[in-house]
A and B are shown apart, each in its own frame.
Chain A
Amino acid sequence: MTLEELNVFVTTQANVGMEAYYWWCTGLMIIIHVGFLMYEVGATRMQNAVSSGVKNLLAFAFMIPTFWLFGWWIYLAFPGGFVPIDLEGYGAPWNVSMGPMLSDQATGVFWAAFTLFACTTASIFSGAVIERIRISAFVFLAVVLGSVVWILAASWGWHPDGWLVTGWGFHDVAAAGCVHTVAGLFAFGVLLNLGPRIGKYNDDGSANDLEGHSLVLSFVGLLTLIVGFFGFLGACLIWAGSDFGGWVNIYGAPATLSSFAFNTLMGLAGGMIGAFWWSKGNPFWMMSGGLAGIFICAGGLDIWYPGFAFILGTIAGCVIIPANNWLHNTFKIDDCVGAVSIHGVCGILGMLCVGLFASGFPAAGDIPASNLTGQIVGAIVMALTGFVPGYVISYIMKMAGWLRVPDHVQKAGIDKAELGLQAYNQ
């Protein structure tokens, strides 16, 4: 074998390996949706169990074509802000780049991975609004969130040329901001307009527990969701090939999958233990705490010391319950699964933690080092990018009568009234 043949062989194997890696990460991310489906259906009362599942599946189905239509292009075109850069057609659905090309082994698998990131973002919002949002309204809002809003935030802060990155040194390798904070705050904005489920609050302002019909289903769903997140987090790293020394984070700085393994597991364990302690053994909060533990570590998943990730995870597990209670008591929202607290609050904390505990971490090329100011600016931008569209669009939909299931249909049960089905034979 000549040197040239060897070079071709190595390059080919590296490209095929890269394709296969993101292919399987994408497959693993679909398990997130299995988990979300079980989680949300279990958290729903029996009379609405089917519609909750249908809603969740539709978010997945609609995200794929809409992310192909405009989501991927938004990510590529808007790193500078609101004015698109000239991509010479690349990323637009009518461009040949968005189809099978022998010379391009990267676009399809990266698009697929980002599409599943979008599906995950929409599913985070999904759980918060169960049992009283119209399915069509939910699908529309999910498309806005998954194929426009979060990916615009990703273009700003989760892209090597994003203005938050190049201008402020924003560091958020595993999407604590653009996925979790944006989705959590978008859900918060919608919840303010959507209102609580019938029977959630009494006239005197006190709240009732509207318990889901299967805690076990939610419990197993949450653990399944965590399995899927290994695909999500794995796809947050870039397989850069031999030219760049192997793995780099999404900003181009050296990173390893090992660091993700250490900190994902330690954050998960810390979150579960913290929430177990704070909730006095509630399995729903314990598993949610595990997720929150991962999310609070997500901003610096490539750089934390594992023991520190465990401590951060424990803090997240302890924070989510009082944060959820405060949000409910203050704003009288009805966040059925604690999405605003788990994703929104812990996402913000994750970004701030990088500024507080990892300032000075060097970035690639001309990108400034991590710093507290950049993280604060990034957290504010991510929170507003999620909240403002969620609130404004859902407000317009509310005014148009296209947001909330009418009270009499809620009382009758959405499954029976709209779908003519029931989840279980009684």
Chain B
Amino acid sequence: MNTFPGESASWEGVDAYFTWAGSSGMLVLFTLVTACICLGVIIAAARHESETAENNK
């Protein structure tokens, strides 16, 4: 796995450049952030619905 820009500066022997994800920790972090965004938006939408329902009584 490589990062760009990083130590490697050519495609010789390289299969992929994963920008900003040069370690397993970063890959897991991106995965968690993606999951949190999805879940957080659903929760936020549910709260908005409850508030508007209350306001429209």
Q: B-contacting residues of A (Cβ < 8 Å)?
A: 62, 65-66, 68-69, 93-96, 99-103, 134-137, 139-140, 143, 402, 405-406, 408-409, 412, 417-418
B7 interface residue (CB < 8 Å to A): no
What 9 A-B pairs come out closest when comparing CB atoms?
Answer: A136-B46, A136-B45, A94-B27, A93-B31, A417-B56, A101-B16, A418-B52, A406-B53, A94-B28
Cα–Cα distance between A329 and B43 once the two chains are bound (Å): 36
Cα–Cα distance between A412 and B53 once the two chains are bound (Å): 10
With contact pairs A102-B16, A103-B15, A408-B57 given, residues A136 and B31 touching in the complex (Cβ less than 8 Å): no
Q: A-contacting residues of B (Cβ < 8 Å)?
A: 1, 11, 14-16, 18, 21, 24, 27-28, 30-31, 34-35, 37-38, 42-43, 45-46, 48-49, 52-53, 56-57
Cα–Cα distance between A143 and B45 once the two chains are bound (Å): 15
Q: Assuming A94-B28, A102-B14, A408-B53, what are 20 further A-B pairs, CB within 8 angstroms?
A: A65-B34, A69-B35, A93-B27, A94-B24, A94-B31, A99-B16, A99-B18, A101-B16, A135-B45, A140-B42, A402-B46, A405-B49, A405-B53, A408-B56, A408-B57, A409-B52, A412-B56, A418-B48, A418-B49, A418-B53
Cα–Cα distance between A405 and B52 once the two chains are bound (Å): 11
Q: Which residues of A contact B35 (CB under 8 A)?
A: 69
Q: Which residue of A lies closest to B57 (CB)?
A: A408
Q: Which residue of B lies closest to A411 (CB)?
A: B56
Partner of B18, one of A62, A96, A135, A417: A96
Q: Which residues of A contact B57 (CB under 8 A)?
A: 408
Total CB contacts across the A-B interface at under 8 A: 70
Cα–Cα distance between A137 and B27 once the two chains are bound (Å): 29
Q: Which residues of A contact B53 (CB under 8 A)?
A: 405-406, 408-409, 417-418
Instruction: Please tell me if the beta carbons of A65 and B38 are within 8 angstroms of each other in the complex.
Output: yes
Instruction: Please tell me if the beta carbons of A134 and B16 are within 8 angstroms of each other in the complex.
Output: no
Instruction: Please tell me if the beta carbons of B56 and A409 are within 8 angstroms of each other in the complex.
Output: yes
Instruction: Please tell me if the beta carbons of B45 and A66 are within 8 angstroms of each other in the complex.
Output: no
Cα–Cα distance between A418 and B56 once the two chains are bound (Å): 9
Q: Which residues of B contact A62 (CB under 8 A)?
A: 38, 42
Cα–Cα distance between A102 and B14 once the two chains are bound (Å): 8
Instruction: Please tell me if the beta carbons of B38 and A136 are within 8 angstroms of each other in the complex.
Output: no
Instruction: Please tell me if the beta carbons of B46 and A134 are within 8 angstroms of each other in the complex.
Output: yes
Instruction: Please tell me if the beta carbons of B42 and A136 are within 8 angstroms of each other in the complex.
Output: yes
B11 to chain A, nearest CB (A): 8
Partner of B16, one of A93, A96, A402: A96
